[in-house]
Structure 1
Amino acid sequence: MITRTGCAGRFGTLLISAEILPTPRPKEEFCRYKKGEKCLVCVNRCPADALNAEEFDKEKCYRLLQVNAKAFPELDNQYACGKCTTGPCSQVSSNDSANRDWSCLETDKARIKKLHETDL
Structure 2
Amino acid sequence: MSHWSHRHVAYISGMGTFGINNMLITEAGCSGRLGTLVTDLKMETDRKIEGENCLYKHNGTCGVCVKKCQFGALTSEGYDRKKCYGILLENDEYHNDMGLTDVCGKCVVGLPCSYKNPVK
Shorter chain as denominator, the TM-score bin is: 0.5 to 0.7
Corresponding residue number in structure 2 for 1:40: 63
Could you give the per-residue CA deviations for residues 61-87 of structure 1, whole angstroms, max 9, x where no partner exists?
010011111111133233441111111
Could you give the per-residue CA deviations for residues 25-72 of structure 1, whole angstroms, max 9, x where no partner exists?
622311111121521110111122111223211111010011111111
* Kept in 1: contact 2:95–2:101 (CA 8 A): no
Q: In structure 2, list runs of 5 or more residues that go unmatched.
A: 1-23
* Kept in 2: contact 1:45–1:84 (CA 8 A): yes
Structure 2 length as normaliser, TM-score?
A: 0.59
* Kept in 2: contact 1:3–1:26 (CA 8 A): no
Query: Does structure 1 residue 72 correspond to structure 2 residue 73?
Result: no
Corresponding residue number in structure 2 for 1:83: 106
- Identical aligned residues as a percent: 34
1:17 and 1:61 map into 2 onto residues whose CA distance is 29
1:40 and 1:9 map into 2 onto residues whose CA distance is 20
How many equivalent residue pairs? 93
* Kept in 1: contact 2:30–2:113 (CA 8 A): yes
2:91 and 2:54 map into 1 onto residues whose CA distance is 28
Deviation beyond 2 Å, 4+ runs, structure 1: 8-11, 16-25, 74-80
Max Rg structure: 1
